[in-house]
């Protein structure tokens, strides 16, 4: 076997010349996310490290979400990423982990955040239902909170630890679940809505595959939004806790984006069309967030 360095997709060439993919690119990129990735608000010297982190996270997430791989195949590849992250041996097909390991070594940030992301991807490979809201939050603590924690560590820390960052990242993750629950169910048979809330409301699983949200399902969505608002009350404190002034501005913008997306979800049907912000709405959130962040910086 040999590494195909020109493919850019983490491919391995077999002895017969056939390309065996390790990565499974979904086509999703930074524009798909609910938050700016490596934006100009962040210091230029750190943006390449943020880009490396995002590429690593995107790659393992795509493997976990691939409809073409078995749970065993996903697990094998994800464990390969963890081995490469720990050992940085330059294993063919795992270049995103090799680069991530080099970035962590250069910046002095712990690899725990990346390893937790791998843990959530391993969980996604086998777990398709979540019994309670607490189970959903436990999942978010692996799938979302590590992103904020990595950024805080990369930018010199926070005066109040990770709590408000966890709240913001977990809120964003649940918002993403509400945006995509129909597609998650139809394509991956994966449901992140709490099963006990669905049962209490009388929701049948098949309702998640419809093109309109039923009144019963709307009750579950609204319960999730109530919990998101509770998280956001803590998350809105985050900008004031962050030590680095430029990350503080970034956080202030993301808080505004999260608030606006939650507001949209309270008024729109996520099964009828994916709920997302228009460019003017996102720009308005950015301006308001920057204004608030600059005030905190004075």
Q: Which residue has the higher pLDDT, 32 or 67?
A: 67
Report which secondary-structure segment, H or E, holds 285: helix 279-297
The pLDDT value recorded for residue 10 is 52
Q: Coil, helix or strand for 19?
A: strand
The CATH homologous superfamily of the domain defined by 129-298: Farnesyl Diphosphate Synthase (1.10.600.10)
Residue indicated by tokens 């750190």: 46
92-127 per-position pLDDT tens digit = 999 999 999 999 999 999 999 999 999 999 999 999
The pLDDT value recorded for residue 184 is 96
In the chain, where the domains are located: 44-126, 129-298
188-245 per-position pLDDT tens digit = 999 999 999 999 999 999 999 999 999 999 999 999 999 999 999 999 999 999 999 9
Residue indicated by tokens 């419809």: 210
165-194 per-position pLDDT tens digit = 999 999 999 999 999 999 999 999 999 999
The pLDDT value recorded for residue 224 is 98
**Cα–Cα distance, 192 to 124 (Å, whole number):** 10
**Cα–Cα distance, 25 to 7 (Å, whole number):** 12
10-26 per-position pLDDT tens digit = 554 344 444 457 898 87
**Cα–Cα distance, 231 to 172 (Å, whole number):** 10
Q: Coil, helix or strand for 158?
A: strand
CB atoms within 10 A of CB 292: 19
Question: In the structure, what pLDDT confidence band is assigned to residue 262 with cuts at 50, 70 and 90?
Answer: very high
The pLDDT value recorded for residue 298 is 43
Does position 254 have pLDDT exceeding 60, yes or no?
Answer: yes
Phi, psi of 106 (to 5 degrees): -70, -40
């Amino acid at each position: 076997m040999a590494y195909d360095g020109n493919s850019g997709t983490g491919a391995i060439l077999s002895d017969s010349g056939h390309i065996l993919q390790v990565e499974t690119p979904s086509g999703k990129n930074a524009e798909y996310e609910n938050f700016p990735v490596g934006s100009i608000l962040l210091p230029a010297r750190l943006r390449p490290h943020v880009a490396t982190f995002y590429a690593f996270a995107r790659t393992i997430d795509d493997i976990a979400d691939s409809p073409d791989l078995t749970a065993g195949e996903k697990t094998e590849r994800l464990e390969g990423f963890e081995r490469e992250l720990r050992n940085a041996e330059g294993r063919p097909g795992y270049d995103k982990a090799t680069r991530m390991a080099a970035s962590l070594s250069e910046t002095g940030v712990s690899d725990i955040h990346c390893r937790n992301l791998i843990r959530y991807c391993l969980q996604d490979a086998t777990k398709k239902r979540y019994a309670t809201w607490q189970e959903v939050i436990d999942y978010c603590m692996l799938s979302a909170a590590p992103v904020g924690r990595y950024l805080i560590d990369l930018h010199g820390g926070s005066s109040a630890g990770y709590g408000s960052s966890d709240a913001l990242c977990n809120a964003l993750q649940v918002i993403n679940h509400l945006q995509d629950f129909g597609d998650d169910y139809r394509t991956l048979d994966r449901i992140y809505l709490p099963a006990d809330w669905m049962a209490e409301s009388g929701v049948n699983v098949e309702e998640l595959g419809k093109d309109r949200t039923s009144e019963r399902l709307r009750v579950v969505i609204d319960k999730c939004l109530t919990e998101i608002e509770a998280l956001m009350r803590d998350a809105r404190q985050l900008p004031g806790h962050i030590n680095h002034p430029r990350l503080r501005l970034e956080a202030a913008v993301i808080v505004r984006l999260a608030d606006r997306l939650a507001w949209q979800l309270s008024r729109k049907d996520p099964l009828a069309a994916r709920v997302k912000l228009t460019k003017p709405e996102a720009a308005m959130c950015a301006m308001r967030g920057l204004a608030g962040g600059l005030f905190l910086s004075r």
